[in-house]
Structure 1
Amino acid sequence: MIRRWLVVFAFAGAVLQLALPYVLGRTVDSVLAGDTGPLALCAALIAVAVACDALETWATGATSATEAADLRGRMVRRILWAGPALTRRFPEGELVTRTGINAEEAAQAVQARIGAVALLIPTAGGLIALTLIDPWLSLTLVAALVLIALALKTFFRASAVSAAAYQRTQGEIAGRLVDALAGARTIKAAGTGRAETARVLTPLPELRRHGLALWAANARAGVQTGLVVPLLEIAVLGVGGWRLTQGALSVGDLYAAVRYAVLGAGLSTALGQIGVLARARAARTRVEEILQAPCPAYGNSPVPDGPGELRLGDVVLPGGSLTAIVGHSGSGKTHLTAQIGRLAPAELPIALDGIPIEALTHDALRACVAYAFDRPVLLGDTLADAVTLGAPGADPAAAAARAGADAFVRALPEGYATALAEAPLSGGERQRLGLARAFAHPAEPGRPRLLILDDATSSLDTVTARRVGETLTATSGTRLVVTHRTATAAAADQVLWLDGGAIRACAPHRVLWDDPGYRAVFA
């Protein structure tokens, strides 16, 4: 809706600008003839033109803000929907830059295009008006327009190249900065702050070079188009004065001709819109890389009825069983668990109660699978929100109690209402809250539930880890636990032993223990 108002005000202002020289010229002739009547109409027309200009300014800002908000919303939805596949492709700082600065620049393309098209109205009108006043004057304007068009074309090409390089370098700096912020504690402990600052700012000279190239292109085009307008005025005055002496023009005609010449050369003021379009074009390319990123395709199968039998290639895990996943570092444990919940592309056939996971709807898959990670990221305003994320109807205290987190949460002054940003949490406490979040998703009667703990007890002390293990054993549903603990593997119904990114064996711990290679996993 706001975009429509921008079109209305921009084009109305352009038409009024086109009409003003004619009205002013006729008013001059009338005043010289002793008739001051047209002065009121002239003043009213000027007032309306000023109002249109002010409203166009408002609509321009509102349109850019609306377009940027819409673009950012689409990008954030795409990033979250695409999931880890996209975040592995682009660094976090790069994604922030693209959803921030680049989205803002790309959104300005709409108002720039409208403004550029609106400039064509006075340009075309000025050319037609000069032709009607005197064809000799229109030829002068045509020559000027050719020079202006060539300057703008050169400027657009140079700006597009420099803008793309500038934006790319911005993203690189942002990516390095985010990495440094994530490792701030390590940098401080190592005393490498100066070296890390230099690393983050290494692309700064390149950024400066591209920025200077943008300004240089703008300056060259500004000088070139700026020289055309006064030269055009001089040429029109010369030709018009000559025609005036021949009696072919009146004083008012000459005044109107000069005004129309300047108005027709107003295309030179498109420098700003052309620069915005060049930056917007480069930014749009970066934005489209996000918007066109592939997202997982889901099927139309609902949550299947069954015990929760999980098939991983040729391996079948019985429904309701507890499976320990073990293997050396880099053997693919996390990648395998990510494939089950479609957090990573599946590299082997995976089925739940006979239904391929890719055939399930998005909501059905999320209802089937609950995760707890080794380094959980807590989201929400309060600790209660962090625990019940994705399960708003769950009891946060009950879930936290099962994860051994209830006691330390209640010890806080605000308890579960404690603001997440103000909660002094250790690594183990965060991990327990991550476990509580997984426990907060209860299995529905008659429906399978996969509970996946990806090394989610690694930061817990032995006592707490044992209690969580007891809770896990008593939990219904099919459970998979990535572990490095012998006791956890021994308590499981079966062990999935990974080696070199593949499943090497699936059997009870007591059976696998006879293999020296298996024992070496726990060494």
Structure 2
Amino acid sequence: MTAFAQTARRSAGWLPVIGVSALLGTLGALALPVVLGRAVDSIVGGGSPVWFWLATGLVVLGIAVDLVDAYAGTACVAGTTAWLRDRVVRHVLSVGPRNGFETGDLVSRVSGNAAEAANAGPVVVTVWMALLPPVGSLVMLVYLDFWLAVAFLAGVALVAVVLRLFTLRTAAVVSAYLTVQGRLAARFSESLTGVRTIASAGTVAQEERRVLSSLPALHDEGMRTWRVLSSSAAQGAVVGPLVLVAVLATGGWGLAAGRLTPGELFAAGQYAMLGAGLGGLTGVFGRLARARAGAERVGEVLAGTPVSYGTAVLPADAGSLEFRGVSVDALLTGVSFVVPGGAVAAVVGRSGAGKSVLASVAARLRDPSAGEVLLAGVPLTSLSHEELRAAVGCAFERPNLVGATVGAAIGPGGEQAARATYAHEFVSRLPEGYATPLVDAPMSGGELQRLGLARSWQATRLLVLDDATSSVDMVTEMRIGTALARTGGRTRLVVTHRLSTAAQADLVVWLEDGRLRAVGTHEELWTREDYREVFG
């Protein structure tokens, strides 16, 4: 089932209300011309005022139906938008870092495109209801006079052609516009993330050109959209009056021949305008095109495969970390090694050797394309989600902290973990300590890294540190290393560029061009000149 159909089905609770409201409104609109015509004939002939009051009742019905439709439609779209955004966000998080979309583009899809897609259910009902006025007008014109119906059909055929062309062209241009808009949002998001770096490097002008380079394409797509809308409006401005002229000319002939009364001629003109009005129809089909385009972009995100988990738990012993023939696309090839339980393994290599990729595989932030990773003899893919995340902690070179306060960003046991990673001292100096809002807690790179370490400290079996102390001063790094050594039982995989860190490790994993160059102690590998060159 397509994302558009799924979204439309989600609106099912409100659709009967919207449908009944639209049906009553349409039936009232179809009855009103005849009733007004009778009222005209009654006034001209001095008859009963009942037709006038009946017309007044139909007008009141139309107002009430519009109010109900506006409320139900708004509530339906709001609820569906919330559901769709929640679903997309949960799905993106379940897929993980390899979702294949840039951050800004994802934000565009979750915010704007999801809101457009949420119109799927109401707009489908509206499209079907939009078919009733021309069909009902045709029936009523047949009732009034057969030749009126013939004239109306000839004009409506042109209306159908215009609508078909409008729908096809609108779907294409809206989709293209949203794609370019998403690309622009992605670049802008990147710039906001690195705004301090851009300012300090003096590359503001270059970054402006890079971010705004998509504006000409966005302008072109916007102009294409405008041309489609304007050409459809121009065609409607010609076709609509042609239908009205044809029906009125035929009706005038019928009035002269005595087949129609003045009131019936008035009603015929109203039906011609109601059945051939392109203004409302192009708006409805335009909404349908935008809803389809939004649903397609949301559906592309939902097509990603979430990470699957097993049900296994880890044995009680510390256990080893083992790589068995692990390959990741063209980034790692056939990597095999074992880190004994409770040991510290330093991962070293030149830039681009695959160190961070190996760390992400060890923490199961991404899965290998071949081979497997085992912790305590259990494949990571077999562990339950709760077991995996309780057992494995990750800290990165540039951690992103999430939470309302500093304490929330660290997680349970925040103060104890902060003390262990020597973050407590600077956190306690903040205005509200651990309760300080994260946005009000400016931190240096080293302080940020220490909070990232504290966040990962709760892991029970494996700590994966991807250059997680590169901005920490040497003294603090030594203290953190000592604290890590005292944790006992936890295996540590440390990506590092520092010679001192590799020298203190129990084991060194040496990567080169995505392949395992050697595994051994630092003392063993130090005898090799090419190993020494890794550290400059």
Equivalent position of 1:163 in the other structure:
174
User: Which residue, out of 405, 420, 423, partners 2:441?
Assistant: 423
Give the corresponding residue for 1:271.
282
Unaligned runs of 5+ in 1: 389-393, 444-448
The aligned amino acid for 2:242 is L
User: What is aligned with 2:250?
Assistant: 239
> 167-176 or 3-12, which moves further after superposition?
3-12
1:442 Cα deviation after fit: 4.9
Tell me which amino acid in the other structure corresponds to 1:429: E
How much does 1:268 deviate? 5.1
2:106 paired with 1:95: yes
Deviations 1:291-342 (A, max 9, x none): 1012222223234443222211142222222222222222111111111222
* Counterpart residue number, 1:495: 508
- SS of 2:371's equivalent? coil
Partner of residue 22, structure 2: 10
> What one-letter code is carried by the residue in structure 1 that aligns with 2:180?
T
| 2:93 matches 1:80 | yes
Find 1:409's aligned residue among 422, 427, 450.
427
Task: Indicate whether 1:432 and 2:450 are aligned.
Answer: yes
1:462 to 474, 489, 503: 474
**Mapping 1:357-506, distance limit 5 Å:** 357-388=380-411, 394-439=412-457, 441-443=458-460, 449-476=461-488, 477-506=490-519
- Preserved CA contact (<8 Å) 2:391 2:459: no
SS in 2 for 1:311: strand
Choose 378-387 or 72-81, whichever is displaced more.
72-81
Of 185, 189, 204, which aligns to 2:215?
A: 204
- Three-state SS of the structure 1 residue aligned to 2:52 is helix
Q: Which residue matches 1:325?
A: 347
Q: What is the aligned residue count? A: 510
Distance (Å, rounded) in 2 between the aligned partners of 1:504 and 1:203 = 43
The aligned amino acid for 2:435 is A
Q: Deviations over 1:356-407 (max 9, x none)?
A: 211222222112211111111111011100110xxxxx32111100000101
The one-letter amino acid of 1:435's match is: L
Greater CA deviation, 428-437 or 197-206? 197-206
Give the Cα–Cα distance (whole angstroms) in 1 for the partners of residues 160 and 459 of structure 2: 67
The offset of 1:351, in angstroms, is 1.4
The change in CA–CA distance for 1:34 and 1:431 in structure 2 (over 3 A counts) is: same
Is residue 356 of structure 1 aligned with residue 356 of structure 2? Answer: no
How far apart, CA to CA, are the structure 1 residues paired with 2:116 and 2:50? 48
- Are the equivalent residues in 1 in contact too, given 2:15–2:125 (CA < 8 A)? no
Residue matched to 2:201: 190
Distance 1:403 1:191 in 2: 35
Quote the offset at 1:33 in angstroms: 4.3
8 A contact 1:6–1:63 mirrored in 2 = no
Identity %, equivalent residues: 43
- SS class of match (1:371): strand
Would the alpha carbon gap of residues 194 and 324 (structure 1) be closer, same or farther in structure 2, given more than 3 Å must change?
closer
In the alignment, which residue of structure 2 is the partner of 1:228? 239
Q: TM-score, normalised by structure 2?
A: 0.90
Shift of 1:511: 2.3
Alignment of 1:265-304 (within 5 A): 265-266=276-277, 269-304=280-315
Describe the superposition over 1:387-430 as per-residue Cα deviations: whole angstroms up to 9, x where unpaired.
10xxxxx3211110000010111112211111100102111000
Partner of 1:446: none
Q: Which amino acid aligns with 1:381?
A: A
Amino acid at match of 2:535: F
Q: Spell out the pairing of 1:33-182 with structure 2 (5 A cutoff).
A: 33-86=46-99, 89-182=100-193
Number of the residue aligned with 1:507 = 520
SS of 1:436's partner is helix
Cα deviation, residue 211, structure 1: 0.9
Give the partner amino acid of 1:215: W
Aligned to 2:131, the other structure's residue is in SS state helix
Residue 348 of structure 1 aligns to a residue whose secondary structure is: strand
What amino acid sits opposite 1:170 in the alignment? Q
CA RMSD for the aligned pairs? 1.9
The CA deviation at 1:186 is 3.0
CA separation in 2, counterparts of 1:109 and 1:513? Answer: 65
Match of 1:391 in 2: none
1:136 deviates by: 0.6
- Structure-2 change in CA distance of 1:199 and 1:484 (3 Å): closer
- Shift, 1:162, TM fit: 1.8
1:216-260 deviation per Cα after TM superposition (whole angstroms, max 9, x unaligned)? 211111121222232222222221122223222233322222222
Runs of 4+ in structure 1 off by over 4 angstroms are: none
Structure 2 runs not aligned, ≥5 long: 1-12, 325-335
TM-score, normalising length: structure 1: 0.93
* Displacement of 1:51: 1.3
Equivalent residue letter for 2:467? D
Which amino acid is 2:65 matched to? C
- Residues 453, 480 of structure 1: 8 Å contact kept: yes
Moved more, 469-478 or 507-516: 507-516
| Contact 2:427–2:433 under 8 Å retained in 1 | yes
Question: Does the CA contact (< 8 Å) of 1:306 and 1:353 recur in 2?
Answer: yes
Deviation at 1:13, TM superposition (A): 1.0
| SS in structure 2 of the partner of residue 424 of structure 1 | coil
Instruction: Note the alpha carbon deviations across 1:279-301, whole angstroms, 9 max, x for none.
Output: 33233222211110122222232
Give the whole-Å Cα distance in 1 for the aligned partners of 2:510 and 2:206.
42
Measured against aligned partners, the alpha-carbon deviations of 1:81-129 in whole angstroms (never above 9, x if no partner) come to 111111xx32222212222222222223333222221111122111111
- Partners of 1:182 and 1:268 lie apart in 2 by 44
